[in-house]
Structure 1
Amino acid sequence: CARTKLSKNNQDKIRKLVDNGLDWDYLLQMGKAHGLAPLLYYHLHRIDYEHRIPQPIIDQLHNIYYSNLARNILLYDESSRVLKSFEEKGIPVVALKGIALAELVYKNVALRPMADVDLLVQKRDLSEITKTLFKLGFEILPQEKRATIKYMNESHFVKRQENLRHLPSLIINIHWDLTAPARFKGTTKINTQQMISRARPGKVAYSNILVMAPEDQILWVIYHATFQHPFIGLLQLCDVAELIKLKENELNWQVLLKTSRNGRIATAAYYFLSSSKKLLGAPIPDWVLKVLTPNLLKRHLLNILLVKSGFLTQCPTHSVPSRYLLQTLMLDKMIDTLSLLWKAVFPPLEWLTVYYDRPRAKKLYLSHLINLLTILLAGTRDFLRVSAKK
């Protein structure tokens, strides 16, 4: 069900699986964890097999689907006002992630969950963008100002829903540099300005906006799923597969390969693309995967953690330490791994005070090192446990 369209063969497979009996509680749990519950409901409804599902399960799936639809309609409605205001002021904006994918790729905003709206802008426009969002009722959280602007290259603007208390606050994330968090600057080299220059005119939320070139859009989803929110579920894999299926005839694989190598994300690209092909039937040429294939040692380590353990299908249940260990292995070069580890051990003191919400103190670095050691031990324990099973 992790796709927008089902072939006749996949429809038959679903019917057979349902008829043979499933652990519906587990399936519902995994569907929610991976962000795929709306797609699960959509396809069961489309093939007219709802009557074969336990009523409490289908009721929950129904509620998830329509709650997601209501939430996304609200997000698109507010986004439309924001984007039209930017357009009136001549501020160029690139749509990122969910807001672009749900409408332009999934073609049904109920199918793609979105927690917030992400927009990419030129840094020179930040002052005008901030003024515009303030006028529209948004605010930036005071405790986030230093941390997000200096170390995350983004600002989070929040709008409270006074008349819709049952719905969460609306959040718009304004990005101006896609290499975030800042600790990845130098270890990965995402060329944000190049991505903006290659973006194409499009229409999202009834507004004129820029949309990333398909090669950049695919790599941005991969980068975000690997280095910003490491391995949180199969939804990002579905994003990649659907993008490739939709843009198959216009994709320039040479551009994608060059960009991934220049950005030092070829390893991450290899595993996301190969998994998209294997699990979701994404039409990716074999020669592309061959060019991206990492060295033997890295392939062995990642196969244990990522492939043999079923990490991608079970990632919501894996610990945060094991995700960060995997994230470190995804860096293309050993020197980048060492650089990342150094930055993790010795970050700027200002960042530590914000992250731990504590004033400057001599013991702050010691507390940070103890925290890192705990994470490292937990991640190593997970790795050894998976290795022992295999």
Structure 2
Amino acid sequence: MSTEMVKLIYDQNTVLPQDDKFYQRALQFIEEDGISSQVFFLLKQQGRLSQTPSFFQDRLKESYDKGLFQNLLIKNQTDEILKVFEGKGIEVIALKGVYFAERYFGHIGARATSDIDLLIPFKELDQSIESIKSLGFTVEEEMIPGHFHCSFSKKLPGSTMPLVVELHWSIVKHNTSQFNINDLWGQALQVGHSKYIKELSSTHLFYMICLHGWRHNLESMKYFLDIIQLIHTLGKEIDYDDLLKLAASHKTVRRLKRTLSIVYEQFPHLSDVKRLPFEVKTTRWEYRRVNGLKQYVDFFDYQFLSYDTFKHSIIELHYWFWPSKYDLETQIGVEQQGAPLFKMYLSLYKKRITSMVKVFLPH
């Protein structure tokens, strides 16, 4: 249903449905996907929001207002952080977040966000952490083994949820790629008159957003919206040939092609906006697929066949069979956490086998 709504938004020649039941179902999926702000603002920007039922408008407006208030708080905090980084001479790039909403969706409230993601050079990590803590982000979260970021948070007045700042030094796991973050830093652009605050080039921003969507297997329509909106706003600035060459050097071509194939497959109108330089790959991906055999086929394709080299696939397979203690605890459930490691692995395998048996055996 979210897919149908997004298709209607980007095909302005289509008359919006008049059936209230359509909008009742759409609201459920829109809210589950966390895209109320995008749908509200894009329809309003097009002058088509008034063509929808009042209950639909009111619910979207309520979510939009909450998201706008939260984004204003986050923007204030982000501005403070960037000011400190500029003063200390720390290079920094804001990833996604409030600036992304302003520039690519048209308004600070047009895309709700919940945290602050910053890209920094790894050599500046200690100084960056010190700077973040000086601004009150003193609650340090446990570092995820093998990942490429660390997180700090603090409580904000008027907000029930703590605000999290994630400091990234990369955007892809290095043991399953040959990703070189210096390629992105080398073409980063200065923001305004600042010397150290930078932004990704258009092609690299799109690259990052696609890889982010792949990492979540496009499980929510919000990942589609980010990619679609960039294609519509930056189409001519994104160089697909350069992007594929970069991905080839980073060993992320399959991830990129899989992601773009799924997006173009679900939203064929994108070929009229910007044609892909390769044939769209037919995938087994389905939006909101119910549990079943296809779910496992897609999982296998995503989890193990998204890598450019056999070595990287084997590494990912190894991590799936023998996940780190951190990943193990997140997969088995709270009730088993703290048990001996051997028992936690048994719980994981039992959970996986039980899930597969339900698929293959008749009910």
TM-score interval, normalised by the smaller of the two chains: 0.7 to 0.9
What secondary structure sits across from 2:236 in the alignment?
coil
1:284 lines up with 2:287 in the alignment: no
Q: 1:380 to 1:115 in 2, by over 3 A?
A: farther
Please tell me the residue identity of whatever aligns with 1:190.
F
**Counterparts of 1:215 and 1:168 in 2: how far apart (Å)?**
34
Moved more, 190-199 or 344-353: 344-353
Counterpart of 1:151? 146
- Paired residue for 1:256, among 220, 228, 243? 243
> Does the 8 Å CA contact 1:273/1:284 hold for their aligned counterparts?
no
Q: Which has the higher contact order (CA 8 A, sep 6+)?
A: 1
What secondary structure sits across from 2:344 in the alignment?
helix
* 1:1-80 to 2 correspondences below 5 Å: 2=6, 10-15=11-16, 17=17, 19-46=18-45, 53-80=52-79
Q: 1:23 to 1:242 in 2, by over 3 A?
A: closer
**Counterparts of 1:28 and 1:372 in 2: how far apart (Å)?**
37
**Counterparts of 1:272 and 1:257 in 2: how far apart (Å)?**
13
**Counterparts of 2:20 and 2:55 in 1: how far apart (Å)?**
16
Q: 1:277 to 1:203 in 2, by over 3 A?
A: farther
Q: 1:380 to 1:258 in 2, by over 3 A?
A: farther
Please tell me the residue identity of whatever aligns with 2:158.
L
Counterpart of 2:164? 171
Q: 1:372 to 1:107 in 2, by over 3 A?
A: farther
1:139 lines up with 2:129 in the alignment: no
**Counterparts of 2:329 and 2:263 in 1: how far apart (Å)?**
40
* 1:202-281 to 2 correspondences below 5 Å: 202=191, 209-227=197-215, 229-278=216-265, 279=267, 281=269
How far residue 106 of structure 1 moved from its aligned partner, in angstroms, is 1.4
Consecutive unaligned residues of structure 2, counting only runs of 5 or more, are: none
What secondary structure sits across from 2:14 in the alignment?
helix
> Does the 8 Å CA contact 2:137/2:152 hold for their aligned counterparts?
yes
Counterpart of 2:319? 343
Identity of aligned residues (%): 18
**Counterparts of 1:263 and 1:249 in 2: how far apart (Å)?**
23
**Counterparts of 1:280 and 1:90 in 2: how far apart (Å)?**
45
What secondary structure sits across from 2:118 in the alignment?
strand
How far residue 93 of structure 1 moved from its aligned partner, in angstroms, is 0.3
**Counterparts of 1:22 and 1:352 in 2: how far apart (Å)?**
42
What secondary structure sits across from 2:177 in the alignment?
coil
Q: Size of the alignment, in residue pairs? A: 349
**Counterparts of 1:351 and 1:59 in 2: how far apart (Å)?**
40
How far residue 186 of structure 1 moved from its aligned partner, in angstroms, is 2.6
1:98 lines up with 2:104 in the alignment: no
> Does the 8 Å CA contact 2:20/2:53 hold for their aligned counterparts?
no
Q: 1:137 to 1:285 in 2, by over 3 A?
A: same
> Does the 8 Å CA contact 1:2/1:280 hold for their aligned counterparts?
no
Counterpart of 1:332? 308
What secondary structure sits across from 1:40 in the alignment?
helix
TM-score using structure 1 length: 0.76
**Counterparts of 2:106 and 2:34 in 1: how far apart (Å)?**
17
**Counterparts of 2:357 and 2:301 in 1: how far apart (Å)?**
11
What secondary structure sits across from 1:222 in the alignment?
helix
> Does the 8 Å CA contact 1:99/1:118 hold for their aligned counterparts?
no
How far residue 247 of structure 1 moved from its aligned partner, in angstroms, is 2.4
> Does the 8 Å CA contact 2:91/2:196 hold for their aligned counterparts?
no
1:228-278: per-residue Cα shift (whole Å, max 9, x none)? x33331222221222233223332222101122223322232233234445
**Counterparts of 1:353 and 1:28 in 2: how far apart (Å)?**
33
Q: 1:44 to 1:332 in 2, by over 3 A?
A: same
How far residue 375 of structure 1 moved from its aligned partner, in angstroms, is 3.4
How far residue 28 of structure 1 moved from its aligned partner, in angstroms, is 0.5
> Does the 8 Å CA contact 2:94/2:199 hold for their aligned counterparts?
yes
> Does the 8 Å CA contact 2:37/2:109 hold for their aligned counterparts?
yes
Q: 1:355 to 1:12 in 2, by over 3 A?
A: closer
How far residue 117 of structure 1 moved from its aligned partner, in angstroms, is 1.1
How far residue 218 of structure 1 moved from its aligned partner, in angstroms, is 1.5
How far residue 179 of structure 1 moved from its aligned partner, in angstroms, is 2.2
Counterpart of 1:128? 127
How far residue 68 of structure 1 moved from its aligned partner, in angstroms, is 0.9
How far residue 222 of structure 1 moved from its aligned partner, in angstroms, is 1.6
Consecutive unaligned residues of structure 1, counting only runs of 5 or more, are: none
* 1:298-377 to 2 correspondences below 5 Å: 303-304=283-284, 306=285, 310-311=286-287, 314=288, 324-328=299-303, 329-348=305-324, 363-372=340-349, 374-375=351-352
Please tell me the residue identity of whatever aligns with 2:245.
K
**Counterparts of 1:268 and 1:277 in 2: how far apart (Å)?**
14
> Does the 8 Å CA contact 1:215/1:252 hold for their aligned counterparts?
yes
Q: 1:208 to 1:335 in 2, by over 3 A?
A: closer
Q: 1:248 to 1:263 in 2, by over 3 A?
A: same
